[in-house]
Amino acid sequence: MPKGLYWDTEDPYHYIRTTLIDGDAEHELLVIGGEDHRTGQKEHPEESFASLEQWSRQMFPVISDFTYRWSGQIMETIDGLAFIGHDPGHGKNVFVATGDSGMGMTHGTIAGMLISDLIVGNENPWTELYNPSRKPVAAALEYIAENANTGWQYTDYLRPADIKSSADIPCGEGAVIRNGAEIIAVYQDQCGKTIQCGAKCPHLGGIVRWNSVEKSWDCPAHGSRFTATGKVINGPANSNLRPLPEGTGADQEIKTTELPPMPPGDSGIEPPATP
């Protein structure tokens, strides 16, 4: 395969490149990615891997095996360009570079050039393009749809009970249960020990959902993620889920995997990004 990084324009998109293997000078690994979806909003996250494998076998029939699998998170801005420049919330001497949309290497380089110009007062033609305060008119509809999607995630507070007992949660899995007004994230570890936390995300109160592939609690509102035992691993939340003593849970469960339809105009899929 020719050296390079290639991606298609499908939605969700796919990308491929090769990488070296430690201690093997003769072979390389083919890295295949894509099937992006919003954090916490994929009903069966394992399906993303299945789709990716199916796509890979179609494109490269020679593939015999998949050596590794992984997933990660990227921050998408509404118009796909990073926020690089003055931090709008912290005065003129604080600068920010974020919202890389999967293009961290490129944006990191641009940030080094642009922010140094801003600090010393040089003009830079990219200032407005990456201005964190910009309001891209062309992306207004996307902005509205994204906000509608986020608001929709709070309907989790109204979801009915689904399974009868938290004892039905298999080892190594989690589920959200109700105990009166309390909504609880319950994880049964591999030894059968039950670990319980408040299911309310400490950021802005979204209800976390169990991610059966990565064994994490993911917030569908703005993408915060927590370990199975409730420790924060991805912001915007900056604290853990509230730990609860054992026995707090009752025998009801809200269905966290069957999602209602998205608000009109939002597929729930992130726009394509450069890997």
Using CB under 6 A, count the residues that bind ligand FES. Answer: 12
Helices (H), the chain: 46-59, 104-120, 127-130, 140-152
Find the shortest distance in angstroms from Cβ 201 to ligand FES. Answer: 3
CA distance 77 to 85: 14
**Which lies closer to ligand FES via its Cβ, residue 202 or residue 272?**
202
Span 189-248, contacts to ligand FES by CB under 6 A: 201, 203-206, 219, 221-224, 236-237
Q: Nearest 5 degrees, angle CA 150-CA 36-CA 210?
A: 60
The minimum distance between CB 7 and ligand FES, in angstroms, equals: 28
User: For residue 235, which amino acid is it?
Assistant: G
Give the CA radius of gyration of the chain: 21
Return the number of the residue (32 or 228) whose C-beta is nearest ligand FES. Answer: 228
Pick between residue 187 and residue 217 the one whose CB is nearest to ligand FES.
217
Least spacing, CB of residue 38 vs ligand FES, in Å:
12
255 belongs to the binding site for ligand FES (CB under 6 A): no
Shortest CB 150 distance to ligand FES, Å:
8
For ligand FES, give the closer residue by CB, 111 or 237. Answer: 237
Tell me the closest approach of the beta carbon of residue 224 to ligand FES, in angstroms. 4
Q: Which is nearer to ligand FES, 17 or 222 (CB)?
A: 222
Here the contacts of 241-247 (C-beta below 8 Å, separation 24 or greater) are: 241/185, 241/197, 241/198, 241/199, 241/200, 241/201, 241/202, 241/208, 241/217, 242/197, 242/198, 242/200, 242/202, 243/196, 243/197, 244/184, 244/196, 244/197, 244/198, 245/196, 246/194, 246/196
Least Å distance, CB 240 to ligand FES, is: 13
Cβ-based nearer residue to ligand FES, 51 or 229: 229
Q: How far is CA 86 from CA 10, 91, 105, 114, 227, in A?
A: 34, 8, 20, 11, 33
Applying CB under 6 A, which residues contact ligand FES?
A: 201, 203-206, 219, 221-224, 236-237
